[in-house]
């Protein structure tokens, strides 16, 4: 009976052309408003929102994934597998550290994404569901921190909530379990809710609206999609700027929505963007662009790789260790986006940029002399902006069409 209703509803949505993507349509925003009102009431009355949060998250994932045919059965299977792996590993880890078991669990926790990515190479979307790339980060991170001994207690309910938490379901920001767990366990006073969580949540949602529904929409409609075809130098340049601004306002808009919605549910999901086009160099850019992703790669890949290389003394100086880790990290980041040539190139490009800009800043005497000069800093921002935009041009795949 329920299945039949869902089936009819799926058909209805498919035929109606209704857009139910996360923060992607006015219909979605309307539903969002409806589900957030009870959360605000709970917040005002100082009641815990986590039970309501789980309920709404389950409902929203049904809406976002099941009704829109985005791979609900794989989502359910993913949750079951990852939660089982994490609980089991946490149990085993209490008895002691074992490298082989650790790597086995690490690989297993990544396997849904690996299976999906490799099957997509073969042109199928086996194991694909909305949000798989982002949810995998949450799982891998937990296995690593359980191994470190940083996460010692894992509750089934809280773990489930961490994974299904709907505001960040489809594209992040990627939260951390310890932080999330602390947030949902603490009691928020009315004063705090009314002076911090609610107004800041609403402010971020309004920013999301402005970024995604006004700026990204305008850029896409009146700039990006009206660039004439044909790869002349001017068209390419024009596309590069248009695409970079579109990508930023669309993704930063989505992220603002996600963070704002989280706040209203009493969770301070970390911000994802901080004026990335005003970065002074490439290293600075990666602390301002898609922050939750670059921090993830920084913490769980780059830093650990660098430490291991330095421990083994593979290189004489620490900068060589860091450069090697930077290139491997950025290449992996590129690969995470997909196996298309332009994603791999994008990763390599940023890896090399990190190395070259570090060499420039450490070795070029004029840089040291000028670095506090305002005009020089403006020039740095200008140059970094263009280097970054060229990266997005590669990323867009436009040059390969």
Partner 1 sequence: MRDKVIKMLEDVCETTEIRDNQDVDLFEAGLLDSLGTVSLLLEIEEVFGLSLEPTDVDRSQISSVNRIVAFLASKGVSE
Task: Show which residues are catalytic.
Answer: 337
Task: Find the binding residues for partner 1 in span 285-314 (CB under 8 A).
Answer: 298-300, 302-304, 306-307, 310-311
Q: Return the number of the residue (304 or 337) whose C-beta is nearest partner 1.
A: 304
Q: Name the helix (H) or strand (E) containing 1.
A: none
Which range touches partner 1 (CB under 8 A), out of 70-78, 142-150, 255-263, 387-395? 142-150
Q: Name residues contacting partner 1, limited to 319-348 (CB under 8 A).
A: 319, 322
Place of tokens 């073969």: 122
Q: What is the 3-state secondary structure (H, E, C) of 41-79?
A: HHHHCCCCCHHHHHHHHHHHHHHHHHCCCCCHHHHHHHH
Q: Is residue 356 within the footprint of partner 1 (CB under 8 A)?
A: no
283 counts as binding partner 1 under rule CB under 8 A: yes
Gap between the Cα atoms of 65 and 243, Å rounded: 28
Site for partner 1 in 148-187 (CB under 8 A): 148, 150
Write out the two tokens for 6: 């869902």
- Binders of partner 1 among residues 82 to 101 (CB under 8 A) are none
In terms of CB distance, is 147 or 204 closer to partner 1? 147
Query: What is the closest distance, in whole angstroms, from the C-beta atom of residue 392 to partner 1 in the complex?
Result: 23
Least Å distance, CB 144 to partner 1, is 8
Instruction: Name which of 139 and 144 has its Cβ closer to partner 1.
Output: 144
* Residues whose CB is less than 8 angstroms from the CB of residue 288 and which lie 6 or more positions away in sequence, other chains included: 273, 274, 275, 276, 278, 279
Query: Which residue's structure tokens are 């800043």?
Result: 361
Kindly tell me which residue out of 73, 274, 318, 368 binds partner 1, with binding defined by CB under 8 A.
Answer: 318
Instruction: Candidates 123-131, 143-151, 260-268, 373-381: pick the segment binding partner 1 (CB under 8 A).
Output: 143-151
Query: Which one of 81, 111, 145, 192 is in contact with partner 1 (CB under 8 A)?
Result: 145
- What span, in angstroms and rounded, lies between the C-alpha atoms of 37 and 182? 24
CA distance 19 to 355: 42
Residue 244 interacts with partner 1 (CB under 8 A)? no
Minimum CB–partner distance for residue 399 and partner 1 (Å) = 31
Token code pair at residue 310: 């330095």
CB 107, CB 139: distance < 8 Å: no
Give the dihedral sign, CA 387/336/136/69: positive
What secondary structure letter does DSSP report for 251? Answer: H
| Residue from 144, 242, 282, 394 binding partner 1 (CB under 8 A) | 144
Shortest Cβ 140–partner 1 spacing (Å): 12
Euclidean distance between CA atoms 40 and 264, whole angstroms: 7
Q: What CA–CA distance (Å, rounded) separates 395 from 373?
A: 33
Cis peptide before 173 (omega within 30 of 0): yes
Closer CB to partner 1, residue 302 or residue 331?
302
Residue 198: CB minimum distance to partner 1, A: 26
- Residues of this chain that interact with partner 1 (CB under 8 A) are 144-145, 148, 150, 283, 298-300, 302-304, 306-307, 310-311, 318-319, 322
């Amino acid at each position: 009976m329920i299945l039949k209703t869902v089936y009819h509803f799926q058909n209805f949505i498919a035929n109606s052309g209704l857009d139910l993507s996360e923060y992607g349509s006015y219909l979605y925003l309307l539903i969002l408003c409806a589900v957030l009102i009870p959360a605000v009431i709970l917040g005002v009355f100082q009641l815990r929102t986590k039970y309501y949060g789980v309920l709404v998250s389950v409902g929203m994932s049904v809406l976002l994934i099941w009704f829109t045919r985005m791979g609900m059965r794989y989502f359910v299977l993913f949750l079951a597998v990852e939660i089982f792996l994490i609980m089991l590993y946490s149990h085993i880890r209490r008895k002691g550290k074992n490298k082989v078991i650790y790597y086995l669990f690490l690989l297993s926790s990544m396997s849904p994404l690996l299976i999906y990515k490799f099957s997509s190479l073969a042109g199928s979307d086996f194991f694909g569901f909305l949000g798989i790339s982002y949810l995998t980060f949450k799982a891998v991170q937990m296995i690593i921190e359980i191994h470190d001994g940083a996460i010692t207690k894992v509750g089934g309910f809280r773990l489930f909530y961490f994974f299904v938490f709907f505001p960040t379901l489809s594209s992040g920001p990627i939260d951390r379990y310890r932080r999330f767990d602390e947030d949902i366990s603490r009691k928020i006073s009315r004063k705090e809710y009314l002076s911090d969580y609610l107004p800041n949540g609403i402010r971020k949602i309004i920013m999301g609206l402005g970024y995604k529904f006004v700026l990204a929409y305008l850029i896409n409609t009146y700039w990006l999609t009206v660039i004439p075809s044909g790869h002349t130098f001017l068209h390419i340049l024009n596309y590069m700027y248009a695409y970079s601004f579109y990508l930023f306002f669309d993704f930063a808009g989505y992220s603002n929505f996600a963070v704002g919605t989280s706040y209203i549910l009493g969770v301070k999901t970390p911000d994802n963007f901080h004026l990335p086009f005003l970065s002074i160099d490439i290293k600075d850019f990666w602390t301002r662009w898609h922050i939750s992703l670059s921090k993830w790669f920084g913490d769980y890949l780059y830093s650990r790789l660098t430490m291991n290389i330095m421990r083994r003394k593979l290189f004489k100086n620490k900068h060589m260790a860091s450069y090697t880790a930077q290139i491997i990290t950025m290449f992996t980041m590129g690969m995470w986006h997909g196996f298309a040539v332009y994603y791999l190139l994008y990763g390599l490009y940023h890896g090399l940029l990190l190395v070259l800009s570090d060499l420039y800043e450490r070795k070029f005497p004029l840089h040291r002399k000028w670095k506090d000069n305002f005009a020089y800093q403006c020039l740095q921002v200008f140059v970094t902006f263009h280097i970054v935009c060229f990266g997005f041009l590669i990323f867009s795949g436009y040059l390969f069409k």
